[in-house]
Amino acid sequence: MQIEILNPILQTQIFSLIFVMAILISIRKKPDKEFFPISLTNELKGVAILAVVFSHIGYFLATDTRFLFPLSILAGVGVDMFLFLSGYGLAVSAIKKTLSPVQFYLKRVIKIFIPMWFVLIAFFSLDWFILHQTYPIAEVAQSFIGFFKEADLFGDVNSPLWFITLLLFYYLVFPLVFKKDHPILSALVLFFGGYFLIDFNFETVWRVNHLHRLHFMAFPLGVVFAGLVVAPKVKNYIQVLRNYLSNKEWLVVLSKLLLASIAFAGFLYFGINSGVGQEPWLEQNIKIITVLSIVILFLLKPFSLRFFSLVGIYSYEIYLLHWPIMYRYDIFYAWLPAGVATACYIGLFVLLGFGLQKLTGLITKYLPFTKG
């Protein structure tokens, strides 16, 4: 159920202090020399899932939206970040190693389903045994194939899973249209495929169509980014630029400061002026700009943030788990101050994510087609 918070501003300050301390003590020297290493994608995934969780707490779980503000205003940005990184990761992997569509589905898509199935079995069972709540058979069956046509936070078994339907659409289409020699053209096909799916307004998904309409650009944009990062010509240009700047350290520092300042200003402005409630195309573009601003800032920072990376490693599992636990099976907010309870939940979600990932690993290690 929803929670009432005494003195939400003070509780926000308490949590913010804990949150900032966790970030500061996790600062380490940047270990990777790559342009966009896995460690960085994990950090960005951590930012994305925390943005989603904070928003769900601040705007839906708590009755007072002052709690966790302004940490709670970036849910849409978090969703777009997930999709952007998914498009980027799949494209980079496909460029390095070609898989047939069947191989792709067996290796990649099944890894979305297995943890989702565990979570659905757990919450359908808990709701039945503990809350005596049941769901229509059709809804249960559709859930297990990743088809979620509603997003009712207070009525569905796990409302945030509406995101899975859009993600699965791109995963199913990706191996059919992606060409490693033409990644940007492939991204355009994915973009228009997503646009058609949403603009056609299929009756069976119309109840989440408004959410899909806000996020269908991010995955193709991630594919474009991957194409630019791994393109030989771009690599050559970067190397030429590095050679030119090798003896001009002052210019490198100045350029990074200027780019970081622009990205930070864009993040602040568009994070606050998010376009929520305006035309979908405008709101989506503002979120995309905010995502790119965050990516640029993380690319430019000279250190790593292990806290975000740790959370990011288990981001998918946390996404699957977080809302039903907090809303229907709360174990912290009822007993602890809200700021402390929120910090405890972040720790709990990481532990549960670790457990779910290990459980998934036990299953997939017996499925040879999921390796690699």
Sequence ranges of the domains in the chain: 8-370
3-state helix vs strand vs coil in the chain, percent to 5: 75, 0, 25
Predicted pLDDT at 137 = 95
Question: For residue 210, what are its two tokens?
Answer: 């408004």
Give the integer Cα–Cα distance in Å for 9 and 65: 10
280-310: b or e for each residue (b if 16 or more CB lie within 10 Å)? beebbebbbbbbbbbbbbbeeeeebbbbbbb
Q: Give the closest residue to 28 by CA, choosing from 296, 308, 307, 306.
A: 306
State the Cα–Cα distance between residues 288 and 295, nearest whole angstrom: 11
Structure tokens belonging to residue 271: 């994070």
Run means of pLDDT, 10 residues per run, the chain, 372 residues:
92 98 94 82 98 97 96 95 96 89 88 95 97 94 92 92 94 94 93 85 69 93 92 69 71 86 94 86 94 96 95 98 96 96 98 96 75 55
pLDDT at 365: 78
Q: What is the pLDDT of residue 223?
A: 96
**Torsions phi, psi for 180 (to 5 deg):** -60, -25
β-pairing, 27-29 with 303-305? antiparallel
Measure the CA–CA gap between 82 and 74, rounded to whole angstroms.
Answer: 12
- Residue matched to tokens 């930012």: 47
Backbone angles phi, psi at 305, to 5 degrees: -120, 95
Distance CA 328, CA 331 (A): 10
Q: How far apart are CA 345 and CA 330, in angstroms?
A: 10
Question: Six-digit token pair at 18?
Answer: 């804990």
